[in-house]
Chains A and B, each alone.
Chain A
Amino acid sequence: MFGWLTQTAALAALNLRSLPRRPGTAAVAMSGIAALTGVFAGVLSMATGFEKTMSGSGQENVALVLRSGATAELNSRFSGEQADIVRYAPGIARDVDGDPEVSAELFWVVNALSKSSGAEANVALRGIQPPGYGLRNNYRLAEGRPFTPGRFELIAGRGARNQFAGLEPGRTIRFGKTEWLVTGVFEDGGSVFESELWCDVNVLQSAYQLGNGYQAVRARLDGADGRARLEEALAGEQRLSVDVWSEREFYAEQAEDTATLIRLIGIPISVLMAIGAVFAALNAMHASIVARARELATLRALGFGSFPTALAALLESVTLAFLGGVLGCAVAWLALNGFQASTLGASFSQVVFNFAVTPDLLAQGITAALVVGLVGGAFPAARAATARVTVALREL
């Protein structure tokens, strides 16, 4: 109906005009909602950023071969002979010289000092073989030079370099009994590998007396059926029992647990804040309705309907909430988007990732704010609509 729409619009415009008369309660409600939205978007952006890092890490056409039942490289083991069985199995791509594109690797956890907290943190030291570079599509040496095979040298991922102390190229860093020379810094398109330190796998074996042992074998798959062929060949192999993951699936799965944990902690906090924000909105709207009881009654006396009155009050509340939501999102975005942090990943080593405040997240944050506005405004709106005009006109 045309009538009540124009009435609602006129009343809502009036409500908004009178907002500045009650700056206190309106500001409290708005900042409550802004805080809620900010925390909500912050927590989700952390989970999203973590997932983004992890899911950007694996490649579909790279197989990650782990010992059967291992859920992480950390708890997988291969002997040198077993690694070679995988290396020469069918389904694996060959380079121009006809050599398999395979890197048998070690994933070792060492201690480094976090720059921000000064505390010791677990960092992954990965030993790779030369084809390992090519198996990371976005690998790029950003500073210095590569490590020299056979020497106690390493290169640091960009994330590790930023988060942990002592990883500037040219410096040496001690892990356990050995001193390592940092020769360079590498990038890999923001993937989880940027949280790691890389060295020659054979050097790592001798540094920790690991013999000719490995933990994971990475291999470029040959064509669309490469994985199936590799899996079939290894399944028929008596000397080892393995799982063949697509690297992408593997990291996606690892991301899920941590992201779920972040959300599990973050969402109850958001819910508590939402309850607080609802009460702040309720209080602001209640104050608004009470302060203007006489004005609203006058308008009703002039012939404005009770339904448009309620709707306009609701609109006022939702507008307040929207402004608060936008504020919260803006703060979250400015403060957190791209903010780098690290957390313990599924492999018990730190994963460095960036908070990702995505448009999706902002939309969710604003939606949460609007819901708070609706819930907080409902009761005062109903009160505005049902107030007796004659009674309200008597009150001064």
Chain B
Amino acid sequence: MAEQLIRLTDVGKNYRKGREAVRVLDGINLGIDKGDFVGLMGPSGSGKTTLLNLLGGLDKPSQGTIEVDGKVVSALSQGALAKWRSGNIGFVFQFYNLLPVLSAARNVALPLLLTSLPASRRKQHVNTALRLVGLAERASHYPRELSGGQEQRVAIARAIVSDPPILLCDEPTGDLDRSTADEIMALLQQLNRDYGKTIVMVTHDPRAASYAHRVLHLDKGELGAAQQ
């Protein structure tokens, strides 16, 4: 049996809307093994992004605990969380979120600025990551000079450059056409299979979800069984 990497216990999340507290997630219990590839589906507004943000330490649960690799991350301070994120989580967003003023290589290098690696080693890591996503020859291109699929590859390179064990992807193919989406999914699959990345991926697209080992359904803040 595989080792459990992520453990959510009775996690809930409320948002304040004016005076009312809106319950977005309720009583979530979930375990994710090391090396798992989990798809997360559900209607708009069901709380998928919220859950992903909690997993990635971008936000804290209103109740319950989140443990990652034995560490209770839901108890960390904001500052400690930032540091923890930089070493453990790679984010991939629907709209890539690359910095337009930086070349592909510099975008990819951003997470390494938070490490004590010397510049020469940083360069090596950046080259490795860009080669892995198949964009080595685009290193000096700026985001506006790249296609959507290429931008997402750069974003993936950025997510893996500091070699975090976990990748969190929020609709990574949501803005791409079908064949480009397939390429991105193949890349994620490769990262999961060959590099042992644990992946949690939100998606609306059943085709993308089919790459996952299992698919969870979120509805009205509650986690349902997979309907595959």
Contact = CB atoms under 8 A, between A and B. Distances in A.
Given A10-B113, A390-B59, A303 B99 contact: no
A389 B53 CA distance: 10
Interface in B77-109: 78-79, 82-83, 85-87, 91, 93, 95, 97, 99-102
B91 A301 contact: yes
Interface in A370-394: 388-390, 393-394
B12 to A, nearest CB: 16
Nearest to A294: B97
A6 interface: yes
Given A17-B101, A390-B59, A303 B114 contact: yes
Interface in A341-396: 388-390, 393-394, 396
B180 interface: no
Contacts of B97: 294-295, 298, 393
Interface size class of A (residues with CB under 8 A): 20 to 34
Nearest to B98: A298
B82 to A, nearest CB: 5
Contacts of A3: 114
Contacts of B78: 306
A6 B158 CA distance: 19
Interface string A299-320: 1111111110000000000000
B63 interface: no
Contacts of B50: 390
A298 B99 contact: yes
A79 interface: no
A307 B110 CA distance: 17
A18 interface: yes
A300 B59 CA distance: 12
A171 interface: no
Contacts of B86: 302-303
A393 B93 contact: yes
A174 interface: no
B29 interface: no
Interface string A11-23: 0001001100100
B93 A303 contact: no
A7 interface: yes
Contacts of A14: 99, 101-102
A280 B187 CA distance: 47
B82 A305 contact: yes
Contacts of B58: 301, 389-390, 393
Contact of A396 (B95, B100, B102): B95
Given A7-B113, A14-B101, A394-B49, 7 more contacts: A10-B113, A294-B97, A301-B85, A302-B110, A302-B111, A389-B59, A390-B49
Interface of A: 2-3, 6-7, 10, 14, 17-18, 21, 294-295, 298-307, 388-390, 393-394, 396
12 contacts: A10-B110, A10-B113, A14-B99, A294-B97, A298-B99, A301-B85, A302-B114, A302-B158, A303-B82, A303-B86, A305-B83, A394-B49
Minimum-distance CB pairs A-B, first 4: A303-B86, A298-B97, A17-B101, A10-B113
